[in-house]
Amino acid sequence: MPSADGFRGDPGRLAATGGDASIRPMNRIASLALAAAVLAPVAIASAQAPTSASTHFLVVGDWGTGSTQQADVAKAMCASNAANPAKFVMTVGDNFYSPDGVATDGNFYRPMACLLAQGIRWRAAWGNHDLGGNSTATVLGARKRYYTYADGTTRFIMLDGNNPSLSAQRTFLERTLKAAKEPVRIVAMHQPVYTAGLHSSSYEGRRAWEPLFKKYGVSLVLSGHNHNYERIRTGGVTYITSGGGGASLYPCVRSQPGLVMCKPINQFLEVDSSPAGIAVRAVGVKGDTIDQVTVPVRAAKATARG
């Protein structure tokens, strides 16, 4: 089973890991000073008090634009992480724009300085905009397009939504889920398999992966691509789109069975995952709660062991 390749997003490590030569990391003292400045105004409560069996992490998508909105979301994420330290930030893709796929001072090091100063770890999915460069691998540590890792009682699987019909990826997903010992299974990718947003659902991803989600007890599927917040529950699985990390927002334009909420709004997610349930809180730039839900943990079907 593939091992995790992520590392802490410290600019100082970039040269040692083969990072993009065009990147000019910020001075560490300046980063720390900026972090202290942005953390002060906002305090955010976690969706659920962590327990010894829980994994607390943050989720952001469609974010690396260098926009004011990206900086606002990052500021709220830093406050959240200061109040309740996260194991990692999961990205659901489109991590770097202008130029696509390349981390720069403008789209990463300045707006995300406070998180870098906090020593946050990244677990990244590859979005369509990330294919133009290699910073999702060299800066965020996702050296493979699809991979898996475990934390506590949760098995995480990051898929490449840019290539959902790849048979090797489907085989990887099934083998990983079948072998998983963790009772909680969370999957993430960029392009959503269910959505009410401007971009249509990934029907190829739905055909390839949804039967495995249902069979092997996946409880939560996270994605981006549509620049909004969405929660859909269908087939016993909860699908959440968190694409409001800084790119220009998209409207909600489609009817979708199982749709609970769709809002074009800047936000990120706080998630606490444990066998008792997966508590998800969608958080706005002022620390406000946009949506909050506890996703029930599903069990794999008995036939999955055959």
- Each domain of the chain, given as residue ranges in start order, spans 11-305
Q: In a 10 Å sphere around its CB, with 0-12 CB exposed, 13-18 middle and 19+ buried, how is residue 20 labelled?
A: middle
Say how far apart CA 61 and CA 175 lie, in whole Å: 27
Q: Is 124 helix (H, G, I), strand (E, B) or coil?
A: strand
Q: What share of the chain is helix, strand, coil (3-state, %, to 5)?
A: 25, 25, 50
Residue 301: per-residue pLDDT: 76
Task: Say how many CA atoms lie within 13 Å of 125 toward its Cβ.
Answer: 33
pLDDT < 70 stretches in the chain: 1-52, 302-306
3-state secondary structure of 31: helix
The confidence score (pLDDT) of residue 52 equals 54
- Cβ atoms 123, 158 nearer than 8 A: yes
Query: What CA dihedral angle connects 289, 291, 292 and 294, to 10 degrees?
Result: -160
Name the nearest CA neighbour of 195 among 58, 62, 301. 62
- Rg of the chain over Cα atoms, rounded to whole angstroms, equals 18
* Residue 189 phi, psi dihedral angles, 5° rounding: -160, 175
> How many Cβ atoms from other residues are within 10 Å of residue 22's Cβ?
12
Question: Residue 60: what pLDDT?
Answer: 98
Q: For helices 167-179 and 203-215, what crossing angle results, to 10°?
A: 20
pLDDT of residue 18: 33
- Count Cα atoms within 13 angstroms, Cβ side, for 69: 21
- DSSP helix/strand/coil, 75: helix
Give the span between the Cα atoms of 94 and 136, in whole angstroms: 9
28 vs 33: CA distance, rounded Å: 9
Half-sphere exposure (Cβ direction) of 269: Cα atoms closer than 13 Å? 34
The topology (CATH level 3) of 11-305 is: Purple Acid Phosphatase; chain A, domain 2 (3.60.21)
φ and ψ at residue 85, rounded to 5 degrees: -55, 130
Q: Give how far Cα 306 sits from Cα of 1, 215, 303, Å.
A: 19, 12, 5
Asked whether 252 and 263 are in contact (CB, 8 A), the reply is yes
Please tell me the predicted confidence (pLDDT) of residue 246: 97
Residue in the block written with tokens 């930030």: 89
